[in-house]
Amino acid sequence: MDESPKESPRDFIRSIVAADLASGRHRAIVTRFPPEPNGYLHVGHAKSICLNFGIALETGGQCNLRFDDTNPEKESDEYVRSIQEDMRWLGFDWRDGLHFASDYFEALWQAARELVEKGLAYVDEQTAEEIRATRGTLTEPGCPSPWRDRPAAESLVRLDEMRAGALPDGACVLRARIDMASPNLNLRDPALLRIRRATHHRTGDRWCVYPMYDFAHPISDALENITHSTCTLEVEDHRPLYDWVVANVTLPSRPRQIEFARLELTHTVLSKRKLLALVQEGIVGGWDDPRMPTLAGLRRRGVPPDALRDFCERVGVAKANSVVDVALLEHCVRERLNPEVPRYMGVLRPLELVIENYPEDGEEWLDARNNPEDPAAGTRQVPFSRRLWIERDDFRQEATRKFWRLAPGREVRLRWAYFVTCTGVELDPTTGEPVRVLCTYDPATRGGDAPGGRTVKATLHWVSARHAAAVDVRLYDRLFLDERPGEDWRDRLNPHSLEVLAARPAEPALAMVAPGARVQLERLGYFCADARDSRPGALVLNQIVGLKGAAAKG
Ligand code: ATP
Ligand code: MG
């Protein structure tokens, strides 16, 4: 988006940034995106990435990628790799700003010692249970730990023992010494460091003390000279602690935390815990299953990255939590694909159509426009013959007032080909279902236009049976039945979220598209050639999104 300086800022965070530049408080803006490498990125992360990188791009500043890797048990290199890959796909570049909170473990350790020396932190020997029990409630103050006023020198000795591995997990914790009566529970002597024997994906077994988020985050921000540290609303109540850390530790800069509403999307979940469960329980095929709201899933499904960026821009940034309709994302995808992608014809649920007055062995190649929205897209040739496949839904034995497609006696247009009139139907003797529809064609309507301006109300897509290629098609629907699946999300899964249609007839040119290519199947929707499962001569199409309303009927 064009951001001329005169335009008023798009959201309250950009307003703050603009004001800080105007007042000279900051000469350059530095933001960061701080994922924890404990899962793949999802659409919610995309919102945060677009915000942080967007601000840096618009102000000529820098956005860092910092891995918030302070919980070794749940983190891994696989996630570190996937996050970088997904961010590049989305179109963002952190330049030389790649950082890891684990690179700051030593600095965090020094900060901990500094706080103890200043009398602002102490080693508490109470059990986790005791600490929880003495924290108080919203209406009652907490109860100070018996270790709260121990001499700093004593805490320092214990702190060194914690780091040296002399104490078992949970034996003690380092706590900030703030205010046990604070109305904000986060200020009631929160834990800063804890003992945890766990192998870290980068630092291995070098450390057995790990920092808490509230301690690591402000210090990491300050060490990177972050000016504006955005995060979601859940940590709003933690901001006084963020500010306390920044004010009391000797640091090169004073970053500011700003909270915004997290993105929620209908019919899916954006919690890493739930997404991980979907993967681990085999409910989906992996983090990149096209039904997943992960960036890897959306990419595999065929969603263009600029459509996702457009979506994030439209969602905007605000303070109020809201749930965004997934239809908005689908709209952005369609809007991006419609002018661009080539059209093809394929039939998902085939019914045979025989043109009785067409020569038995006749064949012709008809001109078809590659994209009616774009004359420059040119044409291709589509083979036509006596036996065609049409969509089962496009035929009914009895035409009603609302059904304008093929029915006995009814004339329709075959896209790019001819007008045909239905002359009869052969039924399956046991089920009564149509197995073959008979018709005649009007040779004077070649190309799909009748002389004298005769019109029809419907245009059908079709595939010549003799020339058809076979493609596998995967249709996707919402992963969850409910708009907002709650904690019982496992019971709310949509059993029809994936439908696999094997060996469907398609015009031969479709079988030649490259893996990863996006196409429109006329009247059906947008599809992407699955880059992993497609083989030469055996194309697999993932449905990206259907067509909208009327366009889908024709
Ligand atoms: P958790 O901390 O439970 O693992 P998280 O969703 O906070 O989950 P992080 O990896 O910490 O995951 O998130 C990285 C950044 O992305 C954070 O700054 C967070 O605020 C932001 N973020 C995460 N989820 C959303 C969301 N749904 N909408 C907007 N921003 C989000
Ligand atoms: Mg987080």
Q: In the chain, where are the structural domains located? A: 12-260, 348-465
Share of the chain above pLDDT 90, in %: 95
The residue-averaged pLDDT of 218-224 equals: 98
Ligand nearest to the CA of 231: 1
pLDDT reading at 524 higher than 50: yes
pLDDT reading at 11 higher than 60: yes
> Which residues contact residue 349 at a Cβ distance below 8 angstroms, ignoring those fewer than 6 apart?
391, 392, 393, 501
> Which residues contact residue 39 at a Cβ distance below 8 angstroms, ignoring those fewer than 6 apart?
79, 272, 275, 276, 287
pLDDT reading at 535 higher than 70: yes
Q: What is the pLDDT of residues 462-501, one digit of tens each?
A: 999 999 999 999 999 999 999 999 999 999 999 999 999 9
Look at residue 497 in the predicted model and tell me its pLDDT: 98
- What is the average pLDDT score of the chain? 96
- For residue 38, the ligand 1 atom closest to its alpha carbon is 4
Using the Cα atoms of residue 379, residue 380, residue 381 and residue 384 in order, give the sign of their dihedral. Answer: negative
Ligand 1 mutation target, pool 11, 43, 48, 213, most atoms within 8 A of CB: 48
Give CATH superfamily name and number for 348-465: Ribosomal Protein L25; Chain P (2.40.240.10)
Bigger pLDDT: 64 or 537? 64
Q: Which of 241, 303, 295, 238 is nearest to 270 (CA)?
A: 295
Distance separating alpha carbons of residues 180 and 149, to the nearest angstrom: 13
Distance separating alpha carbons of residues 508 and 506, to the nearest angstrom: 6
The residue-averaged pLDDT of 131-142 equals: 97
Q: What is the pLDDT of residues 238-263, one digit of tens each?
A: 999 999 999 999 999 999 999 999 99
**CA dihedral angle for residue 175, residue 176, residue 179, residue 184, rounded to 10 degrees:** -90
Look at residue 6 in the predicted model and tell me its pLDDT: 60
Distance separating alpha carbons of residues 234 and 237, to the nearest angstrom: 7
pLDDT reading at 453 higher than 90: no
Q: First CA to last CA across the chain, in angstroms?
A: 34
- For residue 37, the ligand 1 atom closest to its alpha carbon is 10
> Do the domains 348-465 and 12-260 match in fold?
no
Look at residue 400 in the predicted model and tell me its pLDDT: 85
- Cα of 124 vs centre of ligand 2, distance in Å, is 26
The residue-averaged pLDDT of 529-554 equals: 84
85 in ligand 1 pocket by Cβ < 6 Å?
no
Distance separating alpha carbons of residues 485 and 496, to the nearest angstrom: 16
Q: What is the pLDDT of residues 200-216, one digit of tens each?
A: 999 999 999 999 999 99
Q: Is 209 helix (H, G, I), strand (E, B) or coil?
A: strand
Ligand 1 mutation target, pool 70, 262, 265, most atoms within 8 A of CB: 262
Length of the chain: 554
Are the C-beta atoms of 539 and 471 separated by less than 8 Å?
yes
- Cα of 118 vs centre of ligand 1, distance in Å, is 33
- For residue 41, the ligand 1 atom closest to its alpha carbon is 10
Q: What is the DSSP letter of 21?
A: H
- Cα of 399 vs centre of ligand 2, distance in Å, is 57
Q: What is the DSSP letter of 200?
A: B
48 in ligand 1 pocket by Cβ < 6 Å?
yes
262 in ligand 1 pocket by Cβ < 6 Å?
yes
Going by CA atoms, what residue is nearest to atom 2 of ligand 1? Answer: 36
293 in ligand 1 pocket by Cβ < 6 Å?
no
Going by CA atoms, what residue is nearest to atom 16 of ligand 1? Answer: 45
Per DSSP, the chain holds a count of helices (H) and strands (E) of: 13, 26
| Bridge partner list, 351 | 390
Look at residue 395 in the predicted model and tell me its pLDDT: 98
Ligand nearest to the CA of 214: 2
> Which residues contact residue 505 at a Cβ distance below 8 angstroms, ignoring those fewer than 6 apart?
346, 347, 350, 389, 463, 465, 468, 469, 470
- Cα of 255 vs centre of ligand 1, distance in Å, is 19
- Cα of 235 vs centre of ligand 2, distance in Å, is 9
Exposed/middle/buried for 149, CB within 10 Å: 0-12, 13-18, 19+? exposed
Cα atoms found within 13 Å of the Cα of residue 494, Cβ hemisphere only: 19
Going by pLDDT thresholds of 50, 70 and 90, the confidence category of residue 554 is very low
Per the listing, tokens 């210090």 go with: 219
Are the C-beta atoms of 70 and 35 separated by less than 8 Å?
no
- Cα of 83 vs centre of ligand 2, distance in Å, is 14
Distance separating alpha carbons of residues 116 and 126, to the nearest angstrom: 17
> Which residues contact residue 4 at a Cβ distance below 8 angstroms, ignoring those fewer than 6 apart?
none
Distance of alpha carbon 410 from the chain centroid: 45
Are the C-beta atoms of 80 and 215 separated by less than 8 Å?
no
Distance of alpha carbon 65 from the chain centroid: 18
Look at residue 536 in the predicted model and tell me its pLDDT: 83
231 in ligand 1 pocket by Cβ < 6 Å?
yes
Specify whether domain 12-260 bears CATH 3.40.50.620: yes
Written as six digits, the tokens of 258 are 């700003």
Start-end of H helices in 42-124: 43-59, 77-90, 105-117
User: Exposure string (b/e) for 65-76, b if CB count within 10 Å is 16 or more?
Assistant: bbbbbbbbeebe
| Bridge partner list, 42 | 294
Q: What is the pLDDT of residues 370-411, one digit of tens each?
A: 999 999 999 999 999 999 999 999 999 998 889 999 999 999
- For residue 262, the ligand 1 atom closest to its alpha carbon is 28
44 in ligand 1 pocket by Cβ < 6 Å?
yes
Point out the residues that are catalytic: 36, 262, 272
Strands, E, within 233-375: which ranges?
Answer: 256-260, 263-265, 322-324, 343-344, 350-355, 363-369
State the pTM of this model: 0.95
